[in-house]
Structure 1
Amino acid sequence: MKKSALSFFMLLFAGFANAQENHSNSIEFSPQVSVGVFTANHKLTGTAYGGELLYHLNTIDNPSKWMRAMRLKSIDLVFNYKNMGDVKLADDPKEGVFGDSYALLGGLNISVIKLNKTELLFSPAFGIGYAAKTFFTNGNPLIGSHTNFTSRAGLKIATTISPATQITAGIDILHYSNAAVRVPNNGMNTANVSLGIVQSIGKSVSRDSVRVSTFQHKTHTVDIGINMGRRGVYQSKEGYFRTGLYAGYNYRLNSIFALSSGIDAVYYHSVFDPADFNRTYQSFATSYEHWRIGAALGPDIWMGRLALMMKYGYYLHYNSYRDNHTYWTAGMKYSVLDWVAVQAKIYIHKTEADFVGFGFIFTP
């Protein structure tokens, strides 16, 4: 009897161990509640409620170098919902100013530390959101458009409770704004805590069935970029166009990281007119001249053909209405071919978005 019981438990343990290695895709549901709502120029009160529904595409067995180097556990499709009915302006606490928000994001689930059945995960995500109420619908002072860029970064602890199920607890910060396509554009930020459950679905993904990108990186490259975007006129649905030009050098350290430096030139199709102050004033982006030029330095983070870009720059020439000498840029580029990439790039002064430019980067 004792021998049979021992054999049974050994078989049970072996089955459980094999199940732990069943790296299938999974679905996660995480209800959330905010521990803070905040923005740059207004004090807010109240609590946001909501949650996320996530589909995790398993990448643990993927042979791609960048996935292994990043300890990538999954690529995620995320639906995020926030009920803002309880959120109010501190100095004008009337109800119904902020409507609910909905967002669809693409994200990464990165393993930071794993101890036995418990794992600490870092989960950034970016996508497009919808805000139900704006300045133009009911005087919302923070949001100028229904459609917004949405980003989220979070830390999550996941613990295995059965071969196919995990429970999670996490904290994250969600931000949405429209990158000044329409102004006002203070945006909304919520810091949230969550409890969730993850359920594996389907069969384990075979390592042999995964296609690996054949994209090869070069150590030294030169980029020439062009983009175009639009900045909104304050409290108006009109806007001003900008054209961005870039020339820079990249040094690729490995399959993930590169250091980049270059020159940014931005052409204003319409400039500041003191006689038409309210219509042409654009905060830190206000320029008396058609051109501004700066030099910037920063990292690129590569994930196969997709790269995240970020640079900090200093203006070499900028005839600005305000005392402003530095800027940020951030964005994404995807290499369609070895010599050309599509890009989306945002220009930022301090914490204020200037505009988002969409265009191309050529790598001769």
Structure 2
Amino acid sequence: MKKFIPLLFLFPQIFTAQENKDVFLGYSSVYATSVGKINGDIKNYISGQQITIGKDLTNSNQEWVKYLSAKNINFNLVHLDMNQMQKDLWGRNYAFGDAYAATANIDFRLAKLGNVDLLFSPTVGLSYITKTVYTDPDSYFFGSHLNAVFDAGLGIEYQFLKDFALTSKVSFLHFSNGGIQLPNAGVNTLAATVGIKKNIIASKKNEETNDEIIKSEMKKHGFEFSIGAGQRGKYKIKEAFYRVTFSSAYSYFINNMIGFKAGLDAVYYDQVFNPLVYDDSVPYWGKSYEHIRVGASLGTEIKMNKLSFNANYGTYVYFKSPYNQKTYWKAGLRYYITPKIGIESMMYAHKVQADIISFGAFVRL
């Protein structure tokens, strides 16, 4: 594959030279090592590569871009070789296979010094991992081939020529299926990337920095309601429990991008905890003796045009937990179809353990 990387940068030369090029193409090498509970059982070395196509937002006149100092939006294709594993003390080989992922991220500028930008880069995406507990029974990390990718880290971008920049990032990278299929130990890594990017073309409608800022007005006060559904896998069985989520909240936006909210979150279980059944007895913190649990939470919403990131932390007011679980958190993305209605994907979790991923809709009145 690396033989063809130079072609990715030569191909754009067919485009006519233009000023203010804001669409770019990039390539990065990826190096990572696992951390957390995997560390100590095995040692590993993960390597890979990433191809990126993105847009420089510096000249965008959207309000959220200016307010949040967004610099780039990137779409990435990633390959990671996770086969380079050592056996543990019991002789088991925990090779994870290969991961193929499609991700998207926004680079937020934290500081600028000359031609160097310091960036914070949160990333989300989907990956296909070739080895699971069903293909390699010794493994207990992945219960499904399809997993979500979450990545966040600090990077630098050095513009050393007019259309070329060197890039580097250190980040925390996590794979998980959100509990849709168990086991879901996932893999946590510390990752580093080193790469290069080249500006290739200008957008058809190049936005100038002195244009009037485009605002998307957000109603300051509002009551919102959401409903969704998700599944929780059974341990090493291709079956699942199902849950329905309900949320109501009062939200207040201090501007068109940043909002705060307080509300109630309820989850309905189709099947309650039964300690006599093995896949029910594995100590996952979301189990309940009752069909309903209810919590009160506080949180925030960061809105970027029609897309927003949401995060809440809460305390249970009613939860018959076998493990005396008192707190929870939830985080996810929303897409506003109109200023009042949209769709969302929200992950509910306890401590560092995902409970369910709920997919549904919301309304804000």
TM over 0.5: yes
Distance 1:65 1:217 in 2: 12
Distance 1:197 1:46 in 2: 26
- Between 1:191-200 and 1:39-48, the stretch displaced more is 39-48
Deviation at 1:241, TM superposition (A): 0.3
Residues 233 and 311 from structure 1, CA distance in 2 versus in 1: closer, same or farther, beyond 3 angstroms?
Answer: same
Residues 230 and 280 from structure 1, CA distance in 2 versus in 1: closer, same or farther, beyond 3 angstroms?
Answer: farther
Amino acid at match of 2:43: T
**Is 1:47 aligned to 2:45, yes or no?**
yes
Distance 1:211 1:51 in 2: 39
In structure 2, the partner of 1:351 is: 352
**Per-residue deviation, residues 99-151 of structure 1 (Å, max 9, x unmatched):** 11111011101111111111111111101111110011112211100000111
Instruction: Tell me which of 27, 30, 40 is aligned to 1:29.
Output: 27
Q: Which has a greater percent of helix?
A: 1
- Between 1:274-283 and 1:124-133, the stretch displaced more is 274-283
Instruction: Look up the SS of the partner of 1:274 in the other structure.
Output: coil
Deviation at 1:97, TM superposition (A): 2.8
The TM-score, its normalising length taken from structure 1, stands at 0.89
**Per-residue deviation, residues 250-283 of structure 1 (Å, max 9, x unmatched):** 0101122111111001000111123324346561
Distance 1:176 1:162 in 2: 36
Instruction: Look up the SS of the partner of 2:135 in the other structure.
Output: helix
Q: Which has the larger radius of gyration?
A: 1
Instruction: Look up the SS of the partner of 1:69 in the other structure.
Output: helix
Matches within 5 A, 1:207-222: 207=207, 215-222=216-223
**Is 1:160 aligned to 2:159, yes or no?**
yes
Aligned residues of 1:172 and 1:193 also touching (Cα < 8 A): yes
Residues 189 and 20 from structure 1, CA distance in 2 versus in 1: closer, same or farther, beyond 3 angstroms?
Answer: farther
In structure 2, the partner of 1:340 is: 341
In structure 1, the partner of 2:80 is: 82
Distance 1:262 1:104 in 2: 34
Q: What residue ranges of structure 1 are gaps of 5+ in the alignment?
A: 1-18
Q: Give percent identity, aligned residues only.
A: 29
Residues 170 and 275 from structure 1, CA distance in 2 versus in 1: closer, same or farther, beyond 3 angstroms?
Answer: closer
Amino acid at match of 1:197: I
Q: Report the number of matched residues.
A: 345
The TM-score, its normalising length taken from structure 2, stands at 0.89
Amino acid at match of 1:207: E
Matches within 5 A, 1:211-250: 215-250=216-251
Matches within 5 A, 1:266-305: 266-279=267-280, 281=282, 283-305=284-306
Deviation at 1:154, TM superposition (A): 2.1
**Per-residue deviation, residues 342-361 of structure 1 (Å, max 9, x unmatched):** 01011101111111110011
Aligned residues of 1:41 and 1:186 also touching (Cα < 8 A): no
Aligned residues of 1:38 and 1:44 also touching (Cα < 8 A): no
Residues 50 and 41 from structure 1, CA distance in 2 versus in 1: closer, same or farther, beyond 3 angstroms?
Answer: closer
Deviation at 1:362, TM superposition (A): 1.2
Aligned residues of 2:63 and 2:215 also touching (Cα < 8 A): no
